[in-house]
Structure 1
């Protein structure tokens, strides 16, 4: 059903949508802002402080949207601002257009360059913001950069991206397309996926200079923040990377002209590229119709470091690159200082429900990690669906030290890639002491360290605490005759396979 309501690369039109019942309550915003009409302010950057509201104004639990409806749509810009998902907009007119019943639903796109086979957690905010537009009755578009991915966006990068070959690009495009379809398709509304290589593949250099280059001014291009940083660096910036903003800018021109798409969204580091597009639309198309840009903050931890990296690298959205279990565990481990902010930005829970969780955290009797469990469940469900969430919860419970859940080898095999493992012959496992085995398996560096942890009650075999320093592995401890799981505390585990 989800795929049937969406269209993909070959489509040349966007279907009108009628959203299903909203999946979470949305605040109804009144139209108090008058549209700006002065062209001199069209490209003014409007910035917002991300202050979270605990207001309890009435909420809609069920709203249906229709293009013909005369009822105001929930104002998605207000919702994004309230949840800390709004950094800048090119014009306040976008805010009023979001819920004006006399204005057709907006057509909104976000671009994703195929630099890897999967999107990662940094890309998730773009999909979440698209989903908010979708839930508020607007039409959403995912743009895969089959062309721009061959160049590489210099934004936020200190070095030029490595060049990808055609086969790798196609593989990456297919992987990203699959993720977008799965997530946006679950929203119950129509969506579109385009590949910008479709309109760039036949454009010659002379065509580009004539259609785009003559309207670009070098001064403003060099003044873009992403370009300035690279110009000041030791590596500098290549002409190829400098041209990226014109490629992305022309994408907006093409989509605005051919598909009627009038809003581009992106992270705060995309402001220069987005305004390059709105500027080119104004110059090339000479249109009175409005094109808007909207940016959201980058996903950062409380200490200012990027959220989305683990000790093992990026947090991928594809289950083939990171299991739902490991994805769930990442959010389960978010510190208390960040969890409420991430509930607001990464989930669709109502602010009232989040406020209740926040209040509970400061009260006696609060069960630690309750908010983290809610965050992990909501984000995992959004990305991996209900089945992915069930798998993650089952694995989490099964591998929890002290859990009474009986371990199954099939389950261990499914998540073994996410846990350190080793292979040992049966005569190096059966009959050996747990202390010796935990050192052989790499769980501890020495017997003395293992013994200290055992005395503290922190060593588990198949989730059962080991209290006896002389405990040896018995045949019954080997699950299905194939292996066992050793744990040190709650987080450090190793799977021992029988080779």
Structure 2
């Protein structure tokens, strides 16, 4: 299947220039293409993942992707999707973020010879102001720049000359990559269409009107209810395991709605059409089994984190579902309960009733005794059966934690201070 046909089947194309020419080009040769990301933060989130998974699909068909870390453009700030000016970061912070993003990409895609990492600071920082104005600024009519949606939407509130010129810098990136590496396709989000086509226009002014360069954008990702994809009550779903644990990441995918799961299987996994069609049928005929959601969670967690992280996430999920947390490791306990309600306690061992009240998990001894008598309290995964039981740390926590469950689902993590 031609890569354009595959992306079309996956619903991964929003717009492209000269579809037939691009399809013919990718049939005739293995092309170079690129997508960029600015290091305005120290981690990618799953919204960033979509265009880069497109690059991976090109790579799997033998094409050569370039991932551009925007060490130069990140110093300016892309106005796309913003209503106000971006606060500029120090060059030191941008460099630090760039290194972290490169490490994430290397983990995701491997340090493969078929994928090349570059930083646009390397060429943008070498352009003098006079060269910028004479060689590039002269090719951008102001009326065309003002008509770009990203600029037009900001005119009333105001946009600085700095952010106004971002589209020129992105065009310079494309021209540089075309001239040096024969990059013929830029991939980006739907909001990048104006910037990418601006780059095509500039390249054709510089190299000739028939220069074979193309644009391809992905759709804005929305859930079936029309809300923005990739957000939870706690915020964005990050790829950094310190910001979003593999367990939380796995749960995000596991809890997707039936109306969305097939779309996400097409976007975020490398499963074949036959495999996805079979899972789509399972959604229709046996939705209660949630086979598609489980496969989605498995595939994406394995890809973004690792097989080991996936196994830990599955262990935690199984333990919480059945209430059997006694055998979880210290690391699994931290993932499972790190963002649940917590209390601080001393390492003094006490009988369970006094311990529950002193830790503020219960407000009265009467209620604590009643719940224990009714079998509604478990500690470290084991049901409390005696009012005289002594509370001790979870056996795998190195003396750090006690995990209390009231009823079926209400957990509290007690952190023990020495």
The 1-side partners of 2:227 and 2:260 are apart by 12
Tell me what 1:156 maps to.
81
Tell me what 1:474 maps to.
390
**2:111 counterpart of 1:193:** no
With the length of structure 2 as denominator, give the TM-score of the two structures: 0.89
Q: 1:277 to 1:411 in 2, by over 3 A?
A: same
Deviation at 1:79, TM superposition (A): 0.7
Deviation at 1:191, TM superposition (A): 0.9
The 2-side partners of 1:453 and 1:236 are apart by 60
Secondary structure of 1:105 counterpart: coil
Tell me what 2:360 maps to.
440
Which of the residues 130, 135, 138 maps onto 2:60?
135
**2:158 counterpart of 1:236:** yes
Tell me what 2:12 maps to.
85
Can you list the C-alpha shifts for 1:461-494, whole angstroms capped at 9, x where unaligned?
A: 434567x7x8676335743543222346777533
Tell me what 1:486 maps to.
404
The 1-side partners of 2:142 and 2:388 are apart by 73
**2:320 counterpart of 1:394:** no
The 2-side partners of 1:446 and 1:145 are apart by 57
Which of the residues 117, 128, 144 maps onto 2:42?
117
Segments of structure 2 that go 5 or more residues without pairing to the other structure are: none
Matched-pair contact (CA < 8 Å) for 2:343–2:415 = yes
Tell me what 1:421 maps to.
342
Deviation at 1:273, TM superposition (A): 0.8
Tell me what 1:7 maps to.
none
Q: 1:224 to 1:374 in 2, by over 3 A?
A: same
**2:171 counterpart of 1:249:** yes
Secondary structure of 1:85 counterpart: coil
Can you list the C-alpha shifts for 1:306-341, whole angstroms capped at 9, x where unaligned?
A: 211222222111223322222112212222222221
Superposition CA RMSD, Å? 3.1
Q: 1:220 to 1:77 in 2, by over 3 A?
A: same
Which of the residues 303, 313, 316 maps onto 2:225?
303
Secondary structure of 1:327 counterpart: helix
Which of the residues 72, 93, 108 maps onto 1:147?
72
Query: Number of paired residues?
Result: 415
**2:145 counterpart of 1:221:** yes
The 1-side partners of 2:294 and 2:203 are apart by 45
Matched-pair contact (CA < 8 Å) for 1:324–1:389 = yes
With the length of structure 1 as denominator, give the TM-score of the two structures: 0.75
Matched-pair contact (CA < 8 Å) for 1:402–1:465 = no
5 Å matches for 1:46-125?
Answer: 75-97=2-24, 99-100=26-27, 103-125=28-50
The 1-side partners of 2:40 and 2:99 are apart by 12
The 2-side partners of 1:278 and 1:239 are apart by 22
Matched-pair contact (CA < 8 Å) for 2:283–2:290 = no
The 1-side partners of 2:364 and 2:84 are apart by 42
The 1-side partners of 2:365 and 2:207 are apart by 73
Which of the residues 237, 241, 259 maps onto 1:337?
259
Which of the residues 96, 100, 108 maps onto 1:171?
96
Matched-pair contact (CA < 8 Å) for 2:43–2:97 = yes
Which of the residues 279, 294, 297 maps onto 1:376?
297
Matched-pair contact (CA < 8 Å) for 1:122–1:298 = no
Q: 1:311 to 1:104 in 2, by over 3 A?
A: same
Q: 1:203 to 1:374 in 2, by over 3 A?
A: same
The 1-side partners of 2:354 and 2:50 are apart by 48
Tell me what 1:210 maps to.
134
Range with bigger deviation, 323-332 or 267-276: 323-332
The 2-side partners of 1:424 and 1:126 are apart by 46
Tell me what 1:25 maps to.
none
**2:281 counterpart of 1:359:** yes
Secondary structure of 2:210 counterpart: coil
Deviation at 1:351, TM superposition (A): 2.5
The 2-side partners of 1:460 and 1:336 are apart by 33
Tell me what 1:62 maps to.
none
The 1-side partners of 2:256 and 2:89 are apart by 34
The 1-side partners of 2:378 and 2:327 are apart by 14
The 2-side partners of 1:369 and 1:489 are apart by 26
Deviation at 1:219, TM superposition (A): 1.3
Tell me what 2:213 maps to.
291
Secondary structure of 1:199 counterpart: helix
Deviation at 1:422, TM superposition (A): 2.7
